[in-house]
Structure 1
C-alpha cells in the first residue's frame, strides 16, 4: 500500500503507512522468482546467493535486462531499481 501511495504522489500517506508497519512489526515477504535451468524449475529470492548456480542465473537475468534496455523496452530508472 505504501508503494502505491508513493507512486500516486501521496508521500505523507505513504510515510504514515510505513511508520505503522514498522510499529506493529509488519515486514514484507520477499518475492520469489522462478527460472527454468534445463534441469527443472528453480526458485530464488532477489539478491539471494545461496544457490550454487546463483551467479549463472543473475548473469542470465542481467543479459535479458540489458537486451530489453537496448531495445528501449524498459526505462533506465527501472533498470537502476531492478539492481
Structure 2
C-alpha cells in the first residue's frame, strides 16, 4: 500500500495521467497473478465494481485506472509505465 500511495503522489504531482502498467500479469497461469519478474503479489488493488480481474477477451495484464484501482486488460495495449530500480 505504501508503494501504491507513493505512485499516486507522483502521478498527481507531475500530471502523469491515469493509465499505467502495474507490472502484474497472469500470462503463465490463468488467475494466478504475479509481477513481471515472477514475484508473488503481496498487495492487490483490483477494482471491485465491475468485478476485476474479469479476464474478458484474454486480458492477462493489469493497469491502473483513474481512481488508481487495477483493471485487467490485453497485454498488447499501449500504456505508460513507471520503472522501479535499485541503486
The TM-score, its normalising length taken from structure 1, stands at 0.23
- Structure number with greater Rg is 1
- Choose between structure 1 and 2: higher strand proportion: 2
The TM-score, its normalising length taken from structure 2, stands at 0.23
Q: Which has the higher contact order (CA 8 A, sep 6+)?
A: 2
